[in-house]
Structure 1
């Protein structure tokens, strides 16, 4: 979400802000290499034509798609196996802001990404800068209106629920934000900086909902963490996985599907990971997948989006805990597998989610940019 200062989203295990300078430098260097211009390509008018032309293109080029984020690695493998179209990923840990900059830098070149995966607040700037192409997926009528651009520029193929990840051997597992004021959590909670990460901003939003705030008023969430900081509850760490593995912290916050991605790592380290959605602050949000304007492989890009929204792609999302956009349609049709459904948050949790509007997100970001530093970071 952005206001006057761009908000960088965070990828699993490695804050995007940490790699921002290096990634941006790499993207700038790529733009200066003078890569060959992408050849003009025919775009299919039907799904069958798109698939045939995508096979001729031979690959899809993505950016900011880590393999352990929402189980994208498995989607890569199954997509290639089904369509014989390779998947290339550049700068897997790039921020949403860096994704847009890559399109600006590489536009018209063969190294330009075909499809992005951006935080919802970056969709408007991307449209305003003419970085996106129109594409209405074949299953658009099964996607809730909150998850698809009415002008056909992007679709949010999945969303997550803000969750608390805890080392259950170190502390009791909290079920609410209110529980975190117990003295056993002093010096054991890490949150990060909501001015730099979408999942961290989501944490503050959720804390606001738990403390009398709303999607229109994030200040109670800032106040909550200001109180924890002042009383010595918060500690700085490099990443959730590292914090739990090393014991730097015992309480973390992230999207539910990101914890699925670090389960094996933490299990190998002997960490008893417990994940819970705070009952007093249920907050969810989505990432959007647009096709870029003048992309080198426009058919493969469109086919990738179709894959993410298909039953196969959606079940891979769900198996990692990411809620597919077509969740309700799949439940109604019986196409969501029992294994995938079991990995999702309970239905009563999903029913509570209300997505913030772009205007609400911008207002929240302005409040965080103004108040987080003096109230929390400086405590």
Structure 2
């Protein structure tokens, strides 16, 4: 069988003709980026081992996205430490307010097809939307990659997600991932390279593809790849997947698939929206590296339009990047959202991690467009987090409860 996408990319960066899954290899990296949450740990590693340089200052960057507005003096001190590291190394800095690392990296064209990008955040896998081998790694591996321009990894085996049919008109790209998790669990994807395939992807823009790639880590995958298509970089030509009877091929029948909602406390705890119809919601959060892009803000603004956020509901909207924020303002989306009663926060990770506001109250039910709803994820283990698309979230903000799927396109 011809090499899979992940094998092709690793072989080219390991200066090998071919690699096989299961091999441990050392490969060159094309870029490394850090985020402010763990760059202080990396700074300590540099000091401990006497590192004073990086392999290429133009290919290493630090983002300030997890704590855009420092909530206390301890986080403020960590941010200063990260700033000092960036200054010592002379690397590029994306200041607080410029956006989420993965969103900005995609905008900047860093996820080039066939390259290897290492990031210090698990959702670096977003780069798979353009057939980049984008790997989230821990502090030690990131520090080593920064200094040497290399990383080590075990070549993952590949599974193919063969999407068949067309989902319902109110169903979004992220819903397909959560449906696949509901059907299969994480076991088939653990430390695998996931190659998505199917004619449905020809209908998706880059923003939707980025949402699917972003959720690769929730699947348990090592990496994930979307096929090239209209409006996306040309990319590498994937090999034909094996026959459907091959155990490495997982068929996902999405014909007529309804919108999905992930109930607490796992992304894979997904059910059709109508099973949660009428659930009261106190707090709606639209944003993050999963769904904080322009098409997401546009959809929320279109739904809210001349409507109002229901009394007793907090609706927080966070653009994923400064570029998204500015374009959303120019197109009138931000004004519509604010007139409806939404709160707009600076570009960044915002409430997703729970290290800055707005923290949900104990007993709150939150509906969020983020990727995870683990217990305590948003900073309060006594709040329940549900996950859904921006379309569902915007309708929920108006109603104060989860709507029927039939109400979404009215």
Q: TM-score, normalised by structure 2?
A: 0.29
Structure showing greater relative contact order (alpha-carbon pairs closer than 8 Å, 6 or more residues apart): 1
More helix by share: 1
More strand by share: 2
